Structure 1
Amino acid sequence: MWFELNNYEWQAIRLSLIVAANAVAMGLPVAILVSLLLRWPRLPFRSVLNIVVHLPLVLPPVVVGWMLLVVFGVRGPIGSLLNDWFGIRLVFTASGAALACAVMTFPLMVRAIRLSLDSVDSGLEDAASTLGAKRLDTFFTVTLPLMAPGVVSGAITAYAASLGEFGAVITFASNVPGQTQTLPLAIFTALQTPGGEEAAAKLATISVILAVGGLLLGEWVGKRLRP
């Protein structure tokens, strides 16, 4: 029947969900840290950092994938160290696909978190400091709860966007069925296969459902968490 999926299609969907989750797990802690740094007006080279953070939004995804290949490939400055010292190889792996998705969706998380940070009342943080709370205590008890809507909304949006990432993933992780072939890559493969239009339509429908569901969930959670 039209809506039935074969084993390869289920593998692509399952791998996409796993890769997207790993991408958010990689990027979210760094996004929170970078958002806090960008909030500090006296940070040296603040504008440069801001540009670097948002580069994936304006660069072609294939370029981002190529840059990851240069840096994290087995002969790259970081990739060679990971491979030689720890036996970790990112290129052409599911972990590499997650890294590519994390880089591409990183600006989305930072933007969402910064919007929440801008709405945090600095007077509450000053009051906590006046009462003797240290910076770390103030962050966990005051700042983090108030910025939680942006953190959760950014994570969900990044997860949904990771499900649709194509260019950076295929460049850095390749298109290996069962290993790195995510949902968008499976759609691409189906379109390149004679008679694969039906399979592409099924996978595209699932992709749209997942994307819309992720956006609606992010909007709903963000509203629920706002004070």
Structure 2
Amino acid sequence: MKSLRVKSFCQAIHTTDDEEPSHAEENGEEEFQELPNGEGSEPQKLENFTGVLRDLTVEIADPKAVESLHQQSYFGEHPEGGPLILSPEEVLVLLERKRLQVVGIDNAELNFETLSKLFSEKIADLWIKYLVYRDLRTRGYIVRKGIGDGIEYRVFKRGAKKGEDEAKYRISIVIEGKPVELRVLDKITKYSVSSRKKLVLAVVDRLGEITYYSIDQYNLK
């Protein structure tokens, strides 16, 4: 008999800019927290960059974007000698923060609504993935694409050093009302336990609210 030990990891936190972020910890473990004014490590006045839509990614050729968005803020992938490449979730977050302008190959500007609709037509549950990605970034975490089926994101603890530290969490998204394949859950749980990573389920309800649950034990009896 297979069993999963699941515990509530944290509730989505709603604070205003005037409220102090919570520093509570559960069982001595770091809890997802929201930082005031978004990512506390970024300065208040930030440069805006222009990128070009290439299918389902946006490319930025400006070398300053590599320094500001990639090296300092951990957005995108930067192949050696190439442009900075942003995923759909990253594009939408940066548009929302007014750090990015996107144009098509005809140089016409594409706004948030146009791009979110375009991405959603080609990527299943794109809006849900965006909500989770944005929430994790708002809490101050470094978020990278997941590895393998069922793991949407890898999340690094706050203060992690790029290229040195490993991801602490594996994030799998569960949508309220949508069946979860036990085969996939079984696979990602085994993988996370064997690799000593923390598997966290991001459960998104019908209103877009997110609650996180940690699966910290797997038993096969």
TM-score (norm 2): 0.28
> Which protein is bigger by CA-based radius of gyration?
1
| Structure number having the greater helix percentage | 1
| Structure number having the greater strand percentage | 2
TM-score (norm 1): 0.28
